[in-house]
Amino acid sequence: MKKIIFALPVLVAFYFTPGCTKNNNTINTVYDTTYVIYKDTIVVKDTLVLTNAKYPITGYWAGLYTIDGAESYGEFYYGWDIFADHTLIQRGGGSNGYSGTAKGTWTLSADSTLTADIVPTDPSQGSYGQHISAKYSPSAGTLSQGKYTYTSGKTETGSFSLQRVE
């Protein structure tokens, strides 16, 4: 009788203990105070929900930019690395072989407008701030209608368009 009384709680514990299961190819939703992460696409909670976009916002984007009022200079290389932690690294070329890099943070609003504020990463480039914005198309893989404006250090403005590099 003692063996049955001892074995009964053990059997009950095993009965109510959940078993292990393996679940491949599932989308795990991670919650924090501000953002919801769906695989590799970040969206701001309560604004834009993109699940498994053809061209996710994170990744490398490349294209060209022009300087407003100086179109005779031509177009210059412009590229962005957009990371899931909301970091954006910008690389750009210019006249006379100039190239520069800048770093900042980005957000994506409900109307698919990406905005970012960046500053140079190399002290020899001077001290400036730049605000950039563009329309994101997850189906076409483009950042179009792009505009940049210096918020400090310079007065230049310009436009750009970027394509997602796979």
Lowest mean pLDDT among 23-27, 49-53, 160-164: 23-27
Q: Is 66 exposed, middle or buried (0-12, 13-18, 19+ CB in 10 A)?
A: middle
**Model confidence at 68: pLDDT above 70:** yes
* 30 confidence band (pLDDT: 50, 70, 90): very low
Instruction: Give the 3-state secondary structure percentages of the chain, helix then strand then coil, rounded to 5.
Output: 15, 50, 35
Measure the N-to-C terminal CA separation of the chain; round to a whole number of Å. Answer: 69
Q: For each of the domains in the chain, give its residue range(s) and CATH number, in order of start.
A: 54-165 (2.40.128.120)
pTM (two decimals) = 0.66
Distance CA 31, CA 143 (A): 27
More confident: 52 or 112: 112
